[in-house]
């Protein structure tokens, strides 16, 4: 006999016993009330009810207790019967079965708000202070060189590299805010010319060299910051006498998702992209939500760290507190062309170990493709990331950085270095050049 049949049989016996007990009680009550003539009509009604119940009993014992497709009047009784079914017959309801866990620090009271709650960037950069008359903020993470000097893109801040700092275990990561971005208070705040940004970067490099005089430097730049990093590197290498100490320490260049050709092609559309962004948000959480859901940043936890420094509080005309972007990107429009013009030539002329990280091979232009085939730089393509790849997948970007440093044997300090390639034609032709076998197409005289 199946479990279902056994259960139905047991149910029939219980119902039969229940009705027999009720019949006996009602017969006793009827015998007591027979002497009262006023109860005759009541007795007739009771007998009719008993007959109806008996008919219902005979009807129900032939029905499947799991069938609740009867009239609406009987549905409630059937549900009560179902609630009495033993647990091993029941299929659990999929309550919260596919609900993802809340992020760290979130509360189930308001999961939507908590999902986009800001995270403290100081966990990524425990050391931070200002230079240049207390106007230019610097963020530091890690205890060992070489020092990765990180330059952020337009509209972002130095804390864009906070997710990278959180996964870093081997190097010192140093980032800073360009003027008009993040917590930078330099004036004029809207002077984002190529020359000014290069000079500001050199100020940071000089400070880092003074603080860590024996440690090597690697420039890491994203988007606009990648172009400024490249042109800063070229400036230092070409003017050896002026930047003698920085020249010695400059050992690598890493550019993240910026190519001159594709950048120049995209500039005509930049104004529409900027103007289509929301002007203000009701809360910081809404700003984080927008940056994540719009696909600008594909990692919600990265957005929770990097987005809050991009926003500032502002009271609207109705006296309501709102949040707007600190950086007015339209003010920087006069400088968009000069940021990227000449980038490819500058990148290829920096005769030090260099790598280009892209979110897709289609972003390459002709000159870079030819140079890459000639082995003049290392190319890394990351999949499943957007433009801000160091926030989208910081672990993968850090792996590229580690491989780059290992491949070119860039050590924390200068005295530990062995020559790998020369710099901008100043290579002594009699000096032995150590070239990694994997990149034997490198040529110091090119």
d(CA 86, CA 27): 35
d(CA 252, CA 236): 12
pLDDT of residue 318: 84
* Angle (CA) 61 72 21, round 5°: 35
294: which 2 tokens? 């719009």
Burial 375-395 (b: 16+ CB within 10 A, else e): ebbbebebeebbbbbbbbbbe
SS3 334: helix
One-character DSSP codes across 255-308: EES--HHHHHHHHHHHHHHHHTS-S-BSSHHHHHHHHHHTTSSS-HHHHHHHSG
Just list the catalytic residues. Answer: 223, 257, 387
- Can you list the alpha helix ranges (DSSP code H) found in 317-430? 336-340, 343-349, 366-373, 389-392, 394-407
346: which 2 tokens? 């500058």
pLDDT of residue 441: 30
At 2-52, the pLDDT tens digits run 444 555 555 556 665 665 665 565 555 555 544 554 444 445 445 555 555
Burial 227-252 (b: 16+ CB within 10 A, else e): bbbbbbbbbbbbeeeebeebbebbbb
Percent of the chain scored above 70 by pLDDT? 67
At 324-364, the pLDDT tens digits run 999 999 999 999 999 999 999 999 999 999 999 999 887 78
d(CA 298, CA 384): 9
pLDDT of residue 79: 41
pLDDT of residue 392: 97
Burial 329-342 (b: 16+ CB within 10 A, else e): beebeebbeebbeb
Residues 6+ apart with CB under 8 A from 215: 145, 146, 147, 172, 249, 412, 413, 414
pLDDT of residue 145: 86
pLDDT of residue 24: 60
Q: Distance from first CA to last CA of the chain, Å, rounded?
A: 88
* Angle (CA) 182 185 186, round 5°: 120
Q: Which fold has domain 114-412?
A: Rossmann fold (3.40.50)
Low-confidence ranges of the chain (pLDDT < 70): 1-113, 415-446
Across 50-146, the runs of DSSP E, i.e. the strands, are 127-131, 136-141
pLDDT of residue 47: 55
d(CA 116, CA 305): 10
């Amino acid at each position: 006999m199946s479990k279902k049949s056994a259960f139905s049989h047991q149910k029939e016996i219980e119902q039969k016993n229940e009705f027999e007990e009720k019949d006996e009680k009602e017969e006793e009550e009827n015998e007591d009330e027979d002497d009262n003539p006023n109860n005759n009509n009541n007795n007739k009604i009771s007998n009719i009810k008993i007959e109806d119940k008996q008919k219902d009993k005979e009807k129900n014992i032939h029905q499947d207790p799991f069938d609740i497709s009867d009239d609406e009047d009987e549905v409630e009784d059937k549900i009560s019967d179902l609630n009495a079914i033993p647990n091993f017959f029941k299929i659990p309801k999929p309550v919260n079965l596919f609900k993802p866990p809340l992020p760290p620090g979130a509360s189930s009271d308001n999961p939507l708000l908590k999902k986009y709650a800001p995270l403290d960037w100081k966990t990524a950069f425990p050391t931070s202070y200002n230079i240049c008359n207390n106007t230019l903020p610097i963020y530091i993470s890690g205890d060992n060189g070489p020092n990765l000097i990180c330059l952020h893109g337009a509209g972002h801040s130095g804390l864009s590299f906070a997710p990278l700092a959180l996964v870093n275990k081997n190097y010192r990561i140093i980032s800073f805010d360009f003027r008009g971005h993040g917590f930078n208070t330099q004036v004029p705040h809207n002077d984002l010319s190529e020359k000014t940004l290069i000079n500001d970067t050199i100020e940071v490099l000089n400070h880092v060299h003074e603080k860590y005089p024996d440690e090597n430097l690697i420039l890491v730049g994203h988007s606009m910051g990648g172009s400024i990093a490249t042109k800063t590197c070229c400036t230092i290498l070409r003017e050896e006498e002026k930047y003698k100490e920085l020249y010695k320490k400059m050992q690598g260049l890493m550019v993240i998702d910026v190519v001159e050709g594709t950048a120049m092609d995209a500039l005509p559309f930049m104004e529409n992209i900027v103007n289509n962004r929301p002007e203000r948000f009701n809360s910081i959480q809404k700003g984080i939500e927008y940056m994540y859901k719009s696909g600008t940043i594909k990692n919600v936890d990265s957005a929770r760290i990097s987005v809050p420094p991009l926003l500032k509080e502002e009271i609207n005309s109705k006296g309501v507190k709102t949040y707007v972007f600190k950086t007015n990107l339209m003010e920087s429009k006069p400088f968009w062309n000069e940021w990227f013009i000449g980038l490819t030539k500058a990148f290829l002329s920096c005769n030090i170990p260099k790598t280009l990280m892209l979110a897709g091979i289609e972003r390459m232009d002709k000159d870079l493709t030819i140079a890459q085939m000639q082995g003049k730089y290392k190319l890394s393509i990351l999949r499943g990331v957007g433009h801000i790849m160091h926030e989208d997948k910081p672990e993968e970007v850090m792996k590229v950085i580690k491989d780059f440093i290992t491949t070119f044997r860039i050590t924390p300090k200068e005295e530990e270095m062995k020559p790998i390639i020369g710099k901008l034609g100043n290579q002594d032709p009699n000096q032995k050049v150590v070239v990694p076998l994997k990149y034997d197409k490198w040529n110091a005289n090119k």
